Amino acid sequence: MSTVLLVQPDLALNERWAEALSRAGHEILSVRAVGDATARAREGGIDVVVLDAIDGDSMAREVVAELERLPDAPPLILVSDSPNAPELSAQVGAAGFLPKPCSSEDLVEVVDRVASASVRLAPFEDETTSPRRKF
């Protein structure tokens, strides 16, 4: 079982995704705001972060910047309907990406894959040592 930090500002989606992930055997910690997400991630014990960047690129960048400060940052799955989300996902080094709208089944599949791979974000050093770009 993996512990998933679900960052989903939309209450209805938050409940639907949390239920689907719970049924798949994941423990869910659900938050709706970036500040809550970063505070909860700092406490540790998170295996995967699922972030719906509903407020745009700046939200995703803020969460990733906070995660990079953690000694053992959990992998991030970015969910977004932004046209530049695939590029943003690559820039921030997300372990997974889902375009919105997406089904709960698709979300569970990606979370299962990322959780089983035990991928972690490496601390950003510079352009030559990290695939992620500084923002």
Distance of CA 116 to the CA centre of its chain: 15
Whether the CB-CB separation of 17 and 31 falls below 8 Å is answered with no
pTM as predicted? 0.82
Across-strand partners of 30? 6
Name all domains of the chain by residue range, CATH numbers in brackets.
8-102 (3.40.50.2300)
What local confidence, expressed as pLDDT, does residue 124 receive?
Answer: 40
Q: In a structure prediction context, what are the per-residue pLDDT tens digits for the chain, which is 135 residues long?
A: 899 999 988 899 999 999 999 999 999 999 887 778 888 888 889 999 999 887 666 767 777 787 888 878 899 999 988 888 888 888 888 899 999 899 999 999 999 999 988 544 444 443 433 344 332
* Tokens found for residue 124: 């950003």
CB atoms within 10 A of CB 97: 18
The amino acid occupying position 93 is G
Whole-number pLDDT of residue 57 = 63
